Amino acid sequence: MLITTIAKKSARLSLLIGTLLFLIAELFTFNAIFVVGVIYVIVAFIVNSIILFILFLQLSVASPDHRYVIVRSILLLLFNIPVAILYAWILLALNHKLLL
């Protein structure tokens, strides 16, 4: 199923790019990376939401044999949400300390 392959690649790519932006923001404290990061999060949210919506549609019509693969793809996409929240929380906490 093509959508599960796309979902897995999107989840991995989102995690990789998000992690790279997080590490750059950690290593170099310049404000431009925060703007890039926020734009990236918005774009990734929109793209992954569309993929997630299509996966849920596929899940509703898929045979029981394919549901496991679709659910795994959904979980892989959803895994990025707590990671993004954790990265944002760490960056905001560190930025707050730098401002004090």
pLDDT digits (tens, 9 = 90+) for 73-99: 999 999 999 999 999 898 888 776 655
CA dist 66 and 61 (Å) reads 10
CA dist 18 and 24 (Å) reads 10
pTM of the full structure = 0.84
Name the maximum alpha-carbon separation found in the chain.
Answer: 56
Position 52 scores a pLDDT of 95
The conformation of residue 62, written as its DSSP 8-state character, comes to: S
Helix axes 32-61, 2-27, angle to 10 degrees: 160
